[in-house]
Structure 1
Amino acid sequence: MASEKVTFVIVGGGIAGVTCAEQLASQFPSEGVYLLTASPLVKTITNFKQVSKTLEEFNVEEQPSSVLEEKYPNLKIVQSAVQLLQVKEHRLQTDNGQTFHYKKLCLCSGARPKLLTQDNPHVLGIRDTDSAQEFQKRLSKAKRIVVVGNGGIALELVYEVEGCEVIWVIKDKAIGNTFFDAGAAQFLIPSLEAEKKDRSLPCKRVRYTTEKTGVCFIAGQSGDFGELGSALGPDWHEGIELRGAEKSSSGVHIEYECEVEKIYTQQEFLRFDFNTEKSELGMWPVYVQLTNGKTYGCDFIVSATGVVPNTDPFLHGNNFELAADHGLIVDDHMQTSEQDVYAAGDVCTVGWKPSALWQQMRLWTQARQMGWYAARCMAAAVLEESIELDFCFELFSHITKFFNYKVVLLGKFNAQGLGQDHELLLRCTKGQEYVKVVLSGGRMVGAVLIGDTDLEETFENLILNEMDLSRYGEHLLDPNIDIEDYFD
């Protein structure tokens, strides 16, 4: 069995792991940096743009690991899953028989989908490239699908699918409640019914395929960490046609405030009694009974109900402190409760008291920031230098795109944790923009910007500067006033 003594080992080929490895490889050119990944492809960041002090935009690309090794001669990519981690001995063993004695280890193994059920071939979870391709293949033959969930993947999915009826099941009163309030949801709803036009330009980036890749996350086949591919990029649906079997789109029907009570195969469905006449429901491969009493037949079900931090491969024989969400708890230097073991991205949960204007959300931007900061903390520990918490954790900020609208979220954008101690200012132009500002004690503490508002940098400054805005009142969002001039 091969055994090596190394300074840095990073586990995970997603954004957090690759960012961490690149940072360490560039800072320590004479040290070997080892990146362990279960997939032959790694996620890399391209077209990075610092939009403002805290806002950043970038593309995520899948590339062969050789691309990284050519860029950093001291970075070695090992394509293997973790078999055993012994933190007391600072030893890590891989499935392919290698053993690493590390000085510093960073776990960036991401998260796995929370599937509705683990044993039904009609339930599909979408997380990695392979499962997205499996979804595309199934969708091409489908006339109706049921999408369960209300997060980012579900939002993108219901908008992008064409030529197929979509039944969207959400447990909330409004769509996208992870990101929006009910007002923003109402602003976006017409986009589901409108003719899709002015789509983003086709994705021009190179796509790589491999002969042996990770598991498609169909229920009943969700293997261990060795089979997990990295999470999809924010533009995962670009460049693949999400079209069903129908010539014309049948639209999206939303079932609010309900969940899936039971899933029936066609054979089971024919044996049971239902309130609805079976002839009305038609013949489908699978049926979904909802808690509101309704039953729908469909070709397959998409489970988009969130993720669980992928910590299981590292727990046996060790004493990691876990959060309620099963994430590895990290301190303000991204260290876990075990010595010399760090974590970043979806696998970890922050254990420090965060800034009043920041909260953890398992998003691409935070995976990059955490991976970068974890590398700096590991470097500081090796060099015996002190380091302060990075500025990116001062203010929550995120740029994304939903329903073909640019979306910017800042601070306590949904008044998280503010109770009744806040007021909202709104500006909405149907089909163009939705602007919401959260004020507390006369100061701006959060904002939601949908559309091309060009207000993100101004609002970021107002939040960070803690300026008292009481005297401006509703004029703060007056479209006839150039706010930038107002606060120069």
Structure 2
Amino acid sequence: MAAVVEKTFQFVIVGGGIAGVTCVEQLSSQIPSAEVALITASPQIKAVTNYKQVSQTLEEFDVEERPSSVLEEKFSNLTVIQSAVKSLHTQSHSVETADGQVFGYEKLCICSGGRPKLLTQENPHVLGIRDTDSAQELQKRLSNAKRIVVVGNGGIALELVYEVEGCEVIWAVKDKAIGNTFFDAGAAQFLIPSLEAEKPERDALVKRSRYTTEEPAVGTSHTFTADRNPRGLGVGPTESGSALGPDWHEGIALRGAEQVSRRVSVEYQCEVEKIFTSEELLNSQQQTLEPENAGAWPVYIQLTNGKTFGCDFVVSATGVVPNTEPFLHGNKFALADDAGLRVDEHMMTSEPDVYAAGDVCTACWEHSALWQQMRLWTQARQMGWYAGRCMAAHVLSEPIELDFCFELFSHITKFFNYKVVLLGKFNGQGLGSNHELLVRCTKGHEYVKVVLSGGRMVGAVLIGETDLEETFENLILNQMDLTRTHGSSSAQKTLQQ
């Protein structure tokens, strides 16, 4: 049953997030005569604005939701098709959309992003934060809430527990320290006092990471208290709107029903055992709740540390999985261990003429010793831009080398109102015991950690306004032997400056 192809485009990009839009912009600019199609489930696309190259590899930018018509006005060779993808037929080089249309392609780039790993799909009291609609739903529910439970230890969870006011927050993390994806226990300890301090007035925005993939994971708990007076939802069964932009919480008031206190309790090294209603709780004879609390909340969550908490709703912030679902059936894509589409050094998948970029793919080339993939906004932009270059180069029969952005991992974000810069193997990733750490910490001001291996700087974490990012980036890229060239205390002297 061969479907009729509406039109064949030279380039088709699937996904209106940062990776897809950046790929479209690159292709449309590089080959203005090529017919390009962007298939997106949402009427809004994610656009990079206020882009700034901070150093050789560090970059900052804002992400704004804009009507897809803005792109069509900018590029006369672009057609935006608003629909979810139903299926992909790599043998016939065609894509079928949810509304029944079929489009042919010469080259295709899949930029469908990730979808939330929800704790449960069935429970109406469990909310995942992914797109504009879910963020607005969070705001609506929070306005009547007195207590919520946040599960997860990635970027969304870190931002949420800091931003929520007027509501008690129980924060369940799988690790021994908060923010394990981004920094070590020392940095976490530096940041923890911010949970009990009053939030300062808003200042200049600094970008955060995109979602990171993490598993929900018996231990201790800490409590901190401080008293103080456009739509992006998809239409397909597996589609969701593009992921929220950096600083997604800026435009919404994350305030609960309580007017006085800001209270965050952290439950470490635990995962979710069970989620149940008040009726189920009463029937299960739970012994971990005080009698007067039984039946008082709409939903209850039991953790593996033996504790059970009642709350108004649960926020599932346990990361995302690559959104490959619409593309796998009938095709022979090679998948990585994390379920992403495997791509080579030219962003090509295992299927001919099919590329992928952003959260949906997994970089399976031999990585630089100083780079690793993390599903971040910066990497979505870099991959989309590079995929566009590769697609154009292949059509024009031009050689292309792996972009310099994949030479050194670098990222600027913001947590608990502190600027955070991550460079290289910032957590000693893959180094085993063959590394040493140098740390400088000024309480409430800055935290600086340097990772050394074989006398060379291979990573760094900078929290606060340290102004060291460019210096450390150069030291890492140059791989200068800090012990042999400048004496054993060279790196320490750099920290002490």
TM-score range, shorter-chain basis?
A: over 0.9
CA contact (8 A) 2:166 2:259 kept: yes
* Cα separation, partners in 2 of 1:223 and 1:288, compared to 1, 3 Å: farther
CA contact (8 A) 2:289 2:308 kept: no
Q: Structure 2 CA distance, aligned partners of 1:477 and 1:70? A: 54
Question: Which letter does structure 2 place at the counterpart of 1:476?
Answer: A
- What does residue 463 of structure 1 align with? 476
Q: Structure 1 CA distance, aligned partners of 2:51 and 2:71? A: 17
Displacement of 1:118 after TM fit? 1.1
CA contact (8 A) 2:19 2:380 kept: yes
Residue 254 (structure 2) pairs with residue 249 (structure 1): no
Displacement of 1:269 after TM fit? 1.0
Question: Which letter does structure 1 place at the counterpart of 2:375?
Answer: R
- What does residue 377 of structure 1 align with? 390
Q: Deviations over 1:2-40 (max 9, x none)?
A: 611210000000000000001101111111110000000
Residue 246 of structure 2, aligned match among 234, 251, 255: 234
Q: Which moved more, 1:259-268 or 1:363-372?
A: 259-268
- What does residue 283 of structure 2 align with? 271
Question: Which letter does structure 1 place at the counterpart of 2:139?
Answer: Q
Unaligned stretches of 5+ residues in structure 1: 204-208, 216-221, 483-488
* Cα separation, partners in 2 of 1:195 and 1:322, compared to 1, 3 Å: same
Question: Which letter does structure 1 place at the counterpart of 2:233?
Answer: G
Residue 19 of structure 2, aligned match among 16, 19, 22: 16
* Cα separation, partners in 2 of 1:472 and 1:179, compared to 1, 3 Å: farther
SS at match of 1:16: helix
Q: Structure 2 CA distance, aligned partners of 1:398 and 1:350? A: 17
Q: Deviations over 1:250-287 (max 9, x none)?
A: 41000001111011101111211112354253510001
Question: Which letter does structure 1 place at the counterpart of 2:15?
Answer: G
Residue 149 of structure 1, aligned match among 149, 152, 160: 152
* Cα separation, partners in 2 of 1:201 and 1:467, compared to 1, 3 Å: closer
CA contact (8 A) 1:202 1:239 kept: no
Q: Structure 1 CA distance, aligned partners of 2:96 and 2:8? A: 12
Residue 347 of structure 2, aligned match among 326, 329, 334: 334
CA contact (8 A) 2:167 2:256 kept: yes
Displacement of 1:385 after TM fit? 1.1
Residue 459 (structure 2) pairs with residue 446 (structure 1): yes
Q: Structure 2 CA distance, aligned partners of 1:419 and 1:455? A: 26
Q: Structure 1 CA distance, aligned partners of 2:246 and 2:205? A: 14
* Cα separation, partners in 2 of 1:201 and 1:476, compared to 1, 3 Å: closer
CA contact (8 A) 2:98 2:236 kept: no
TM-score by length of 1: 0.93
Q: Deviations over 1:225-258 (max 9, x none)?
A: 3x41000111100121100000022410000011
Q: Deviations over 1:194-234 (max 9, x none)?
A: 0111323699xxxxx25xx516xxxxxx9623x41000111
Q: Deviations over 1:285-330 (max 9, x none)?
A: 0011111111100000000011110001001110000011110000
Unaligned stretches of 5+ residues in structure 2: 207-229
SS at match of 1:237: helix
After TM superposition, the structure 1 = structure 2 runs for residues 105-120 of structure 1, keeping only pairs within 5 Å, are 105-120=108-123
- The percent of aligned pairs where both chains have the same amino acid is 73
After TM superposition, the structure 1 = structure 2 runs for residues 233-382 of structure 1, keeping only pairs within 5 Å, are 233-282=245-294, 283-382=296-395
SS at match of 1:251: strand
After TM superposition, the structure 1 = structure 2 runs for residues 19-168 of structure 1, keeping only pairs within 5 Å, are 19-168=22-171
The RMSD of aligned alpha carbons is 1.6
Question: Which letter does structure 1 place at the counterpart of 2:269?
Answer: E
Residue 7 (structure 2) pairs with residue 4 (structure 1): yes
CA contact (8 A) 1:202 1:238 kept: no
* Cα separation, partners in 2 of 1:466 and 1:214, compared to 1, 3 Å: same
Q: Structure 2 CA distance, aligned partners of 1:303 and 1:280? A: 27
Q: Structure 2 CA distance, aligned partners of 1:3 and 1:284? A: 53
- What does residue 175 of structure 1 align with? 178
* Cα separation, partners in 2 of 1:426 and 1:473, compared to 1, 3 Å: farther
CA contact (8 A) 1:65 1:77 kept: yes
- What does residue 212 of structure 2 align with? none
CA contact (8 A) 1:2 1:97 kept: no
Q: Structure 1 CA distance, aligned partners of 2:137 and 2:373? A: 30
SS at match of 2:118: coil
* Cα separation, partners in 2 of 1:480 and 1:139, compared to 1, 3 Å: closer
Residue 200 of structure 2, aligned match among 197, 206, 218: 197
- What does residue 411 of structure 1 align with? 424
Displacement of 1:475 after TM fit? 5.2
Deviating runs (4+, > 6 A) in structure 1? none
Displacement of 1:408 after TM fit? 0.3
* Cα separation, partners in 2 of 1:169 and 1:277, compared to 1, 3 Å: closer
- What does residue 476 of structure 1 align with? 491
* Cα separation, partners in 2 of 1:285 and 1:480, compared to 1, 3 Å: closer
CA contact (8 A) 2:482 2:490 kept: no
CA contact (8 A) 1:427 1:477 kept: no
Q: Structure 2 CA distance, aligned partners of 1:197 and 1:271? A: 45
CA contact (8 A) 1:21 1:35 kept: yes
Q: Structure 2 CA distance, aligned partners of 1:362 and 1:53? A: 20
Displacement of 1:478 after TM fit? 4.3
- What does residue 218 of structure 2 align with? none
Question: Which letter does structure 2 place at the counterpart of 1:461?
Answer: N
Residue 214 of structure 1, aligned match among 222, 226, 233: 233
Number of equivalences: 468
Q: Structure 2 CA distance, aligned partners of 1:480 and 1:339? A: 50
SS at match of 1:297: strand
- What does residue 218 of structure 1 align with? none
